[in-house]
Amino acid sequence: MKSAPFTYHAPTAVEEAAALLAAHGERARVLAGGQSLVPLMHRRIERPEHLVDLNRIVGLDRLEADAEGLRIGATVRQRQVEGDAAVAARWPLLVEAIAEVAHPAIRNRGTVVGSLCNADPSAELPSAALALGGTIVAAGPDGERQIPLARFFAGPGETALARSELALELRLPAPAPRTGSAWLELARRGGDLPVAGVAAVVGLDSGGRCERVRLACANAAPVPLDCGREAEALLGAAVDEEGAAAVGSAVAAAADPVDDYQGSAAERRRVLAVLVRRALLRAAARAEGRS
């Protein structure tokens, strides 16, 4: 099957792209990497009348790390981020998560920001970026605004973006000293979406006690599941087997997974409990320089 007919637009400025989205509203879709949108168009699940391609807009391909943090433009490919030495050194969780996304051919075209905007709760990057405290910079007819990822995901395939807005970039804050992270997932086959996935970030004080923790889970709810409340039980204490396991049990109880071809909700809860425990322990070990 082929896509339904559409009008192709290739704006060269953010303002031009935003004007096109404002003019065509529900009838328009944004194209960055196209690894999610194009297959849906070929199956005619998505039938946009207007396709707004961002790839000719100067500056959206910027990948920049500095003292304040990391900026990933809307057209930066996943493979570029995966292979960037500065990202690997300071945001290794992002690289670990990207390495599990589909296959290299997909990552060569797929974009990080596009994966976030696709808002698939089972995908790796939304949960990883959420755990890293990410923010989306969006632009529309009224100018730019920043949307923390904690408020960005509204449901499967739904975000806080208006139809007249486009996501310009993802921003991640710089990690504090003595911070470790880990991405763990279970998938039926390599390249498949995970049955469940966990992103953990742990910061330790000079005595080895947890003073910062972030935890997000994929395929655990209709949106990437922010487990900050459950993880707070670790604050002020060493991250040990007992504490990490208790958080895993709390996350499994709080999760709202689905039954589907990959497994039952009960199975996902069991997997989440194990992955949370392991991810927290690994992140804490890395914060101490032990792994």
What domains are defined for the chain? 7-53 (3.30.43.10), 63-173 (3.30.465.10), 179-287 (3.30.390.50)
Is 0.95 surpassed by the pTM of this model?
Answer: yes
Nearest to 271 by CA among 248, 239, 246: 248
Q: What is the pLDDT along the chain (291 residues), one digit of tens a residue?
A: 689 999 999 999 999 999 999 999 999 999 999 999 999 999 999 999 999 999 999 999 999 999 999 999 999 999 999 999 999 999 999 999 999 999 999 999 999 999 999 999 999 999 999 999 999 999 998 899 999 999 999 999 999 999 899 999 999 999 999 999 999 999 999 999 999 999 999 999 999 999 999 999 999 999 999 999 999 999 999 999 999 999 999 999 999 999 998 889 999 999 999 999 999 999 999 999 987
Residues of 32-42 as b/e, b for ≥16 C-beta within 10 angstroms? bbbbbbeebbe
Side-chain half-sphere of 121: how many Cα atoms within 13 Å?
A: 19
Helix (H, G, I), strand (E, B) or coil at 156: coil
With beta carbons less than 8 A apart as the criterion, state whether 200 and 214 touch: yes
State the pLDDT at residue 126: 98
Alpha helices in 112-159 (DSSP H): 112-118, 124-131
**Block residue for tokens 């498949």:** 192
239: which DSSP letter?
-
Rounded-to-integer distance, Cα 273 and Cα 247, Å? 8
State the pLDDT at residue 113: 98
**Region of 288 on the Ramachandran plot (φ > 0 left; ψ -120 to 50 alpha; else beta):** alpha
State the pLDDT at residue 59: 96
**Block residue for tokens 């989440």:** 272
Nearest to 219 by CA among 113, 125, 114, 102: 125
Longest CA pairwise span in the chain (Å): 63
State the pLDDT at residue 262: 87
State the pLDDT at residue 290: 80
State the pLDDT at residue 132: 98
State the pLDDT at residue 167: 98
Q: DSSP string of 251-284?
A: HHHH-----BTTB-HHHHHHHHHHHHHHHHHHHH
**Block residue for tokens 């953010």:** 14
With beta carbons less than 8 A apart as the criterion, state whether 222 and 135 touch: no
State the pLDDT at residue 263: 87
